[in-house]
Chains A and B, each alone.
Chain A
Amino acid sequence: MAKTAWERMQIVREKNRPTIRDYIPLIFDEFVELHGDRGYGDDGAILGGIATIKGMAVTVLAHVKGRDLKENQASNFAMPHPEGYRKALRLAHQAEKFHRPVICFIDTPGAYCGIGAEERGQGEAIARNMMEFMSLKTPVISIVLGEGGSGGALALGVCDELAMMENALYSIISPRGFAEILWRDASREQEAANVMRITAEDLVNFGVAEAIIPEPQGGAHLDHDKAADAISAYILKTIPKYMQNPIAKLLQNRYDKFRKIGKFTEQKGANPV
């Protein structure tokens, strides 16, 4: 029996669920972290750097979840400010220059909502990342580790291929927010999770995701090594597929991947179904 979205949400919220900081030493041989957006500051909610996997250099961009309060304060519970997205964009352009593929790890409840975020242009930062990643002349693979929330996730999600961890969720807004906005009742969170169509299988069916990375029985928190091995295997299998493509074809396919998402009717007089 496939697990419901709500059941997966409980797995994703397990305290021992691996974060990007757990995964990096397990997936990559080397990692050099790079900081700052060169304009305002360094956002702890997004990590970036250069890594190698089986001797191949890649650029890693990731949302940073913490496992205790101290870690979460440093990473603002993985809710980035504009300078986080701008750091990611700077490092993506660096990857383009040096012909390194980019691997984005998505794990965020969403972009931060606060005064500084508005003052520094949260909307502009997310919009620019989407536009620029769409024409980035190097392969981009995104992997949703736990939760992918809203535009804050999509700013690292414009890619050639999106993979979901088996229990990961990717949604327009948190189920709690969804229940609050549409039913004015945040307590209907569980019901919302189950009607929003946010599981890995849902996203593959919608053509939003292309791959599902298996987790160890019971969830990634029970065996970090095994979860990391599955991610490594996926990256090693996937990167060459896109590195072989001529850039023009790569970019056309990336555009088409997003271009075809959307459901509507153009029949005259048709009622919504």
Chain B
Amino acid sequence: MLQDLFSKVKSRVSVDKHIQAKSGVNIPSDLMFKCPRCGKVEFMDAFQMHNKVCSNCGYHARLTAAERIEEIADNFTFTEYDKHMKSVNPIDFEGYPDKILQQRRRTGLREAVITGECQIMGHPCALGVMDARFMMASMGSVVGEKITRLFERAEEKNFPVIIFAASGGARMQEGIISLMQMAKTSGAIGRHSQKGLLYITVLTDPTTGGVTASFASLGDIIIAEPKVMIGFAGRRVIEGTIKQRLPDDFQSAEFALQHGFVDMIVERRDMRKTLAQLLRLHSGEVAYHG
């Protein structure tokens, strides 16, 4: 249950350690938030009050899965699926089990995605939320299997699916098994879609790599949060190939909108009612009754 989830998850914003280190100033991350986009530093309290949105540039900072579910789902309606599913070591890669254990201890999460069902302003749906704190929400067997089961259950129950995507890409430590999760999830989405059911993806910071190249890009409707990073290849990889610096807005939500890969950019404070509206527009309430 959700309460169980919250008890284990310490609500804390993810601060980009890289940027923090570069600043040369030691900012206690519990007290201050430094925006990775514009560099503005503000008090954590004010930042939290503002839904973890930068007051200067509007960057929508990362939320934990628990925070996201609390913001989106109607109170006490979220029931988690497959909560005990955990990673093993499919290619016997040295150090991977320790890495997983360390991530589990650090985040209180069992893996990088939480799935389940809930209601949003009274509309039932299946919900998947990725949490970038856990190995950058990379997709290995567990993420792939949980997302696949989410669509299969939704198909059985005639539920729409909403996924809040965030990911650094494929889980390298699971080798080819990780790659195959892209095909597996895409196949499950296809079946859910063929049944005439709705799938909405919300792209949050950052959505990249194998997740962009699979379930994140297959929504009937694709929403992005403002200023978040969305792309396939890593920025540094591209810069290395073309030997020049990319513009700041490259691979932003706004860039994706401009190039036709998202339907709309929605601010966090409007997300719940936007999702509820879209669910209603695909429900029996508005169907043709001639």
Using CB atoms and an 8 Å cutoff, list the residues of chain A in contact with chain B: 111, 113-115, 117-124, 126-128, 130-132, 134-135, 150-151, 154, 157-158, 170-173, 178, 181-182, 195-198, 202-203, 206, 208, 255, 258-259, 261-268, 270-273
What CA separation (Å) do A174 and B90 show in the bound complex?
A: 18
Ordered by A's residue number, 17 sampled pairs between the chains whose C-beta atoms are within 8 Å are A113-B241, A118-B255, A122-B232, A127-B212, A127-B218, A134-B183, A134-B186, A134-B187, A151-B179, A151-B210, A195-B91, A206-B176, A255-B187, A259-B148, A263-B177, A264-B142, A265-B85
Which of B142, B217, B237, B250 is the most central at the interface, judged by chain A CB atoms within 10 Å of its CB?
A: B217
Shortest CB distance B247–A (Å)? 10
* Complexed CA–CA distance, A263 and B184 (Å): 13
B100 close to chain A: CB less than 8 A: yes
Q: A258-B184, A266-B84 are in contact. Are A122 and B176 (CB under 8 A)?
A: no
Bound Cα distance A170, B189 (Å): 25
8 Å CB contact of A272 from B97, B189, B217: B97
When distances are taken between beta carbons in the complex, the residues of chain B under 8 Å from A202 are 176
> In the complex, what distance in Å separates the CA atom of A150 from the CA atom of B210?
9
Chain A residues whose CB sits within 8 angstroms of the CB of B188 once the complex forms: 259
Q: A115-B246, A206-B176, A263-B174 are in contact. List 12 more A-B contacts (CB 8 A).
A: A121-B259, A122-B233, A151-B179, A181-B172, A195-B94, A208-B177, A258-B183, A261-B181, A264-B86, A264-B87, A264-B141, A270-B86
Chain B residues packing against A (C-beta within 8 Å): 82, 84-91, 93-94, 96-97, 100-101, 141-142, 144-145, 148, 170, 172-184, 186-191, 193-194, 210, 212-218, 231-234, 237-238, 241-242, 246, 250-251, 255, 259-261
Q: Taking A115-B250, A264-B86, A272-B100 as contacts, is the C-beta distance between A197 and B141 under 8 angstroms?
A: no
Which chain B residues lie closer than 8 Å to A170 at the CB level? Answer: 176
Let me know if A130 and B214 touch, CB within 8 A: yes
Contact B214 A113 (CB under 8 A): no
